Amino acid sequence: MSEPATRPPLPPFTEQTAAQKVRMAEDAWNTRDPARVALAYTTDSKWRNRAEFITGRAEIEAFLRRKWARELDYRLIKELWTCAGNRIAVRFAYEYRDDNGFWFRAYGNENWEFDANGLMNRRIASINEHPIAEADRKYHWPLGRRPDDHPGLSDFGF
């Protein structure tokens, strides 16, 4: 696919435009569509995801296909932590179940860097997860976009 000309909002980010960018990323990831998600990144984007190093859209798509094949019923909430210039720091939590029916919640932080066209050229993610009982799940919206009236991370104290 060809690279889009721009992907607004563009840097330098304000708190408002950074929050918009974060929600757009959350919405895309909640589609669990690797090709769609990968379009937000430059063709040579560099990732560190936990201990895995990924370069370029093709590797991003492959990574996300593997991820969502293992992480079923995936639901994610992201929240802006801070921003400056072309960088955004995000915190997030997501819930999923494995193919044995065990539920997990993962917490993490991401540092994002964008090019002038608003495409992410660097993503550094640190993530920890732990098992949870199904009764302890907090994310109960239908698969897809989190409803606007659903609590966010701060509402849960995450």
Measure the CA–CA gap between 137 and 75, rounded to whole angstroms. Answer: 10
At 92-110, the pLDDT tens digits run: 999 999 999 999 999 999 9
pLDDT, averaged across the chain: 96
**Distance from C-alpha of 37 to C-alpha of 67, rounded to nearest angstrom:** 13
**Region 114-127 average pLDDT:** 98
CATH class of 15-138+152-156: alpha beta
The band of 5, judged by pLDDT with boundaries at 50, 70 and 90, is confident
Question: Which residue from 2, 3, 8, 31 is spatially nearest to 114, judged by alpha carbons?
Answer: 8
CA 59 to CA 27: how far, in whole Å? Answer: 21
Tens of pLDDT, residues 12-37: 999 999 999 999 999 999 999 999 99
Q: In this model, does residue 2 exceed pLDDT 70?
A: no
